[in-house]
Chain A
């Protein structure tokens, strides 16, 4: 008779096969980072251009990046879109805080033609004025939409409080900033600042042919040196409660600045954060959602940027329960910082994380996401190995001490709603 009350015997979780990408030097001191898997005839190419936000405002960078799709000497905006869509390709231009990513997903059989299009966009864009007005308008709508959502606005406001309203990471783009950005400024930035020397990543069904095509395509391009960023002064301020009468829920953000990826405590910090609010079995999720039903979800996360890192707990809760939620969050932090977790809870956390790492390297496109992050932060495989070793050796006391050192302090609190 099957005994359903007893769990099947568990085995030790194996370590993931960490991907080792091939690094191929190409012209002008640039490198190509390649990871191959031939199961599906698909390719991803990511060009990451470092940007400095201290010299340009957010809207100039944003619009300059987006305008790359809006017309070249040879092709109109419509023709560019048709060309990509015709081949079933997806080209995404994503300005992040530290880079502008140009990322292509396409079928292997069309890689050459899609690559040629990207070179054309980089080299021969003409930034038509009429399209510029359209791009500004779309951006204005996006900002309005962001500023109308409690959760999106709370996240922006929180970053402003952490870094300061003048800091490139803390500045909130406004509709006025977009409207006042001129075509001339944006064009000038394209001509002498946007196309810095990129990091280049290639993943999927890649063979020698694609590598040669890419090498040949990039050779004639001129890239600028990355501008030396003057370090921006971080000025943190205390939190803020912004009341929106019509909101049904409050969005809550709590946290502050935190150590960066090169700090010796970094792996312990990530492990401890996971227990606090990183997964479904975390302290915050169990208390705030599963026990009290105050929210649909709550997460604690750590974000690393080039010039600074921050930690944030985020949740959307019932309006009248916001104070209760804040107090319970503080209580959970306090508990984690003063009482070591049980061996059983620690074991669960470790297994969960080991499994999660196994899964995050399950195919080459997912692996590449981690490689990109690592590479852009100037790190290599050792960072992952360091994490996995730390995970194995970390004790309940380590967790308590890490929580005490980094989490149990005055937090910046932003509440919108």
Chain B
């Protein structure tokens, strides 16, 4: 049970406070409700490039990292299709420095052209390191536009292409900041060795005066129902051929989200999963196989992926996967295998919550989804899912006509 209190400032900023006195540290987690899904299709990779710029100095403070290091703090950030999340961990007696730094960059950035030039290069190197210079690194650059034809999930957070990052201008940066980095578009979590009163006082002091331009209004195009199976073949110098199959599924707050999530676990989480047992253990056709969900706010993807052993025919592997799916959907699930999924979910949650930072992020994310107490309720929701719910959901989701398949073939 994660205890917390909630407040909303006059400028719309949400504040959540969670106390934990185990160690003399505090986490400040600031979630902005902007990710790559909010980008202009012709200026992709921007939310992520922006994350880098947030470290290049703010309105009154030239350098973000140094003052933080001087008082013993550490920080980082990440960008997803849905959010950009910044976090600081700091000794509790110096917590005010974190408020000072984090609030100043919400107020405004330095907009220094040199910072943009350097971070542009860094992001281009990141693009190469993570997406081009790794075996299979470009997979999501290819799979997203295959699965999504309309919705902005069709591009990855790094962007569609390097050119979009090369072309970013300072005007773009300013417009993006003005629109999305608004107090009313953010959730602040203060967690750890701090009282509610002190957290509220410091939040009012540093974030209270930041003006709001009003809430962000944006309608994202909905992805239409997929009615034909899609297929792409990639040949590349990779250590083994791989297969990827992606099915559209409900979004994070959709009614059947957890049924789909549990179904992906049943199919491909761990060595006892159905796909692993058949394809790796019994047939020895694959060296690994797994299934997972993207867990995005708008309808996401249930993805099956694995590496195929040398000498095995990809077509045969694909047919076997589809046959396994078909068999799974056409019989009822036994109670033990459903119970297993719930036990796994429980253990994952318990272990994740041993970390203060995970609790802070979890609270911010649950609030962003619209229901902070989801952090405590979610396990019960998962436990209430029945085998029948899972099968009914899967019959809708795991249809061949809802699937995008990629054969990533070894070519050397």
Task: Provide the bound-state CA to CA distance between A106 and B269, in Å.
Answer: 17
A42 on the interface (CB 8 Å rule)? yes
**Number of residues on chain B facing chain A (CB within 8 A):** 79
A-side binding surface: helix, strand, loop or mixed? Answer: mixed
A214 CB, min distance to chain B CBs, angstroms: 20
* Centre residue among B206, B272, B277 by max chain A CB count within 10 A: B272
A66 CB, min distance to chain B CBs, angstroms: 12
A248's partner among B96, B128, B276, B307 (CB-CB below 8 A) is B128
B239's partner among A148, A292, A318, A347 (CB-CB below 8 A) is A148
Task: Provide the bound-state CA to CA distance between A84 and B340, in Å.
Answer: 9
Task: Provide the bound-state CA to CA distance between A85 and B351, in Å.
Answer: 15
Q: Is the CB of A293 within 8 A of B119?
A: yes
B239's nearest neighbour on chain A, judged by CB, is A144
B309's partner among A87, A137, A417 (CB-CB below 8 A) is A137
Q: Is the CB of B133 within 8 A of A86?
A: no
List residues of B (323-373) whose CB comes within 8 Å of A's CBs.
Answer: 336, 339-340, 343-348, 350-351, 353-356
A397 on the interface (CB 8 Å rule)? no
B69 on the interface (CB 8 Å rule)? yes
A14's partner among B24, B90, B119, B276 (CB-CB below 8 A) is B24
Q: Is the CB of A348 within 8 A of B270?
A: no
Q: Is the CB of A249 within 8 A of B125?
A: yes
B70's partner among A82, A292, A351 (CB-CB below 8 A) is A351
Contacting residues, chain A, for B348 (C-beta < 8 A): 88
Contacting residues, chain A, for B234 (C-beta < 8 A): none
Q: Is the CB of B122 within 8 A of A296?
A: yes
A387 on the interface (CB 8 Å rule)? no
A43 CB, min distance to chain B CBs, angstroms: 10
* Centre residue among A17, A106, A351, A356 by max chain B CB count within 10 A: A351
Q: Is the CB of A40 within 8 A of B238?
A: no
A321 CB, min distance to chain B CBs, angstroms: 9
B280 CB, min distance to chain A CBs, angstroms: 7
Task: Provide the bound-state CA to CA distance between A77 and B97, in Å.
Answer: 53
Contacting residues, chain A, for B130 (C-beta < 8 A): 296
A392 CB, min distance to chain B CBs, angstroms: 13
How many contacting A-B pairs (Cβ < 8 A)?
Answer: 216
Q: Is the CB of B133 within 8 A of A247?
A: yes
A81's partner among B89, B129, B272, B339 (CB-CB below 8 A) is B272
B-side binding surface: helix, strand, loop or mixed? Answer: helix
Contacting residues, chain A, for B280 (C-beta < 8 A): 134, 138
Contacting residues, chain A, for B24 (C-beta < 8 A): 14, 358
Q: Mark B74-97, 1 if CB is under 8 A from A, else 0.
A: 100000000000000111011011
Q: A148-B239, A150-B133 are in contact. Are A291 and B23 (CB under 8 A)?
A: no
B96's partner among A8, A138, A249, A359 (CB-CB below 8 A) is A8
Q: Is the CB of B94 within 8 A of A86?
A: no
Task: Provide the bound-state CA to CA distance between A141 and B61, in Å.
Answer: 49
B178 on the interface (CB 8 Å rule)? no
Contacting residues, chain A, for B270 (C-beta < 8 A): 81, 84-85
Task: Provide the bound-state CA to CA distance between A77 and B282, in Å.
Answer: 10
Task: Provide the bound-state CA to CA distance between A148 and B356, in Å.
Answer: 37
Q: Is the CB of A40 within 8 A of B353?
A: yes
List residues of A (356-413) whose CB comes within 8 Å of B's CBs.
Answer: 356, 358-359, 361-363, 365
Task: Provide the bound-state CA to CA distance between A317 and B121, in Å.
Answer: 11
Q: Is the CB of A291 within 8 A of B71?
A: no
Q: Mark B144-176, 1 if CB is under 8 A from A, else 0.
A: 000000000000000000000000000000000
Task: Provide the bound-state CA to CA distance between A16 and B25, in Å.
Answer: 10
B378 on the interface (CB 8 Å rule)? no
Q: A88-B344, A89-B347, A148-B239 are in contact. Are A348 and B125 (CB under 8 A)?
A: no
B125's partner among A77, A147, A318, A365 (CB-CB below 8 A) is A318
Task: Provide the bound-state CA to CA distance between A352 and B91, in Å.
Answer: 10
Q: Mark A90-118, 1 if CB is under 8 A from B, else 0.
A: 10000000000000011100000000000
B288 on the interface (CB 8 Å rule)? yes
Task: Provide the bound-state CA to CA distance between A290 and B55, in Å.
Answer: 10
Q: Is the CB of A10 within 8 A of B94?
A: yes
Q: Mark B38-65, 1 if CB is under 8 A from A, else 0.
A: 0000000000000000000001110001
List residues of A (242-261) whose CB comes within 8 Å of B's CBs.
Answer: 246-249
A320 on the interface (CB 8 Å rule)? no
* Centre residue among B117, B135, B280, B351 by max chain A CB count within 10 A: B351
**4 new A-B contacts at CB < 8 Å, known A148-B239, A356-B74:** A78-B277, A248-B128, A296-B130, A355-B69
A-B pairs with lowest CB-CB distance, top 7: A355-B72, A293-B121, A88-B347, A81-B271, A144-B239, A8-B96, A88-B343
**What are 6 A-B residue pairs whose CB atoms fall within 8 Å in the complex?**
A4-B107, A5-B60, A14-B91, A40-B353, A145-B239, A149-B135
